[in-house]
Amino acid sequence: MTQTSVVTGGAGFIGSNLVRTLLQAGHQVRVLDDLSTGRLVNLDDVAGDVELIHGDVRDREAVVRAVAGAQLVFHEAAIPSVARSVDDPITSNEVNVAGTLNVLVAARDAKVERVVYASSAAVYGNADALPLHEGMPMRPASPYGVSKLAGERYLEAFTRTWGLATIALRYLNVFGPRQNPGSDYAAAIPRFISCTLAGEAPTVFGDGEQARDFVFVDDVLRANLLASTAPEAAWGRAFNVGRGERRTVNDLLAKIRSLIPGDHPDPIHAPQRPGEIRDSWSDIRAAFEGLGYKPAVAFEEGLRRTIEWIAGREGVAT
């Protein structure tokens, strides 16, 4: 029997890549997206293969329609930005917390087999020790981190109270094709690549020595598939999904510049943004033991693929 999988936020960066992965695995795919941050162009080549429901996760009726008859729900829909949550914490809470609760209630009532939730390493905040591991205290430093932690707690409660199989994946710094470099809240990698291709000076927030764990989107997609079939021992739990490697923002920019020919102007430094943590990288042993997750795409290879995609999108030769 063909599985029906729902991807909330399926027109976004990770969601649209996940849609393709599920289609390749033989799933029937339904997308719920309000297109506030997602873009239909991300689904252009598979538009005829998916069912698209234009709706908001805050709209209970839209969520109920989306999950009806589905076996799996991959909940990617969110306002996925620390900076936006600082600017507008109320909307972040409404979408990321109330929206997640709508998805869980609808999934429970529709007898969905499993919900896989896109959480974030932002739940840890500024940790006392690194690398980040799932057993340490959660001290989110931004409304975004709080909202993701609240979502995790709701998943755990639905597993314990109603037996709904749920798994949360704490994404580190995900990058890859279809990540929008043009947004005011764009992540560092697409911004740096776009600026470098254009011969412009990128903006580095802070001194650039803050550390991150950059993971290519294909590895995140693999983690989602593994979570969708993981044994009961993993239900109600959260797992780090990264590479388990530490890189500074300055190192990242230097590597991008080494992969793009040309003269590169010095970066512009701006103050560190409120709510952003200083250092973050992950211990991924729990994901290996609980899900069988192991990153497979080397960091530089992921950068090359991302540069090729952004260059093709912007019509720049590399």
Residues designated as active site: 144
CB 245 within 8 A of CB 300: no
Which of 141, 120, 153 shows the shortest CA–CA distance to 220? Answer: 120
- What letters, b where the CB count within 10 A reaches 16 and e where it falls short, cover 117-154? bbbbbbbbbebeebbbebeeebebbbbbbbbbbbbbbb
The alpha-helical segments, DSSP class H, found in the chain are 13-24, 60-67, 82-87, 89-93, 99-109, 143-162, 188-197, 217-227, 249-259, 285-291, 299-314
Rounded Cα distance, 309 and 295, in Å: 21
- What letters, b where the CB count within 10 A reaches 16 and e where it falls short, cover 285-312? ebbeebbebebebebeebbebbbebbbe
Rounded Cα distance, 252 and 179, in Å: 17
Cβ count near 109 (within 10 Å):
12
